[in-house]
Amino acid sequence: MARIPFMGSSQEEVVAVATGLIARFGLQAHDEALHLAEVATKLRFKRNRDLYRRVAREIEKSFMEARDRLKAKAGSEVGEQT
């Protein structure tokens, strides 16, 4: 799918970058995305700044979903033991 440069990043690009940062930085991926957004701001790369801000939100959402799944799994295991 071709993107018009001024249209911003696709959701697929955001997810791909978020996945890469999580794989590389683990739990620090969110902080790294915010750092990259700051660097892009200083360099006046608006598209990259917007991309990394979206990536940071995607990572935060992903971590919250994972935490919720772990809590649900732990809760179901406690229920099975009683």
Sequence-ordered list of residues with C-beta below 8 angstroms from that of 29, at least 6 positions apart, any chain: 18, 21, 22, 59
* DSSP 8-state class, residue 43: T
Give 37-65 pLDDT, tens digit per residue: 999 999 999 999 999 999 999 999 999 99
DSSP alpha helix (H) spans, the chain: 11-25, 29-42, 46-81
pLDDT at position 6 = 55
Whether residue 70 has pLDDT greater than 70: yes
Whether residue 74 has pLDDT greater than 90: no
Determine if the pTM surpasses 0.85: no
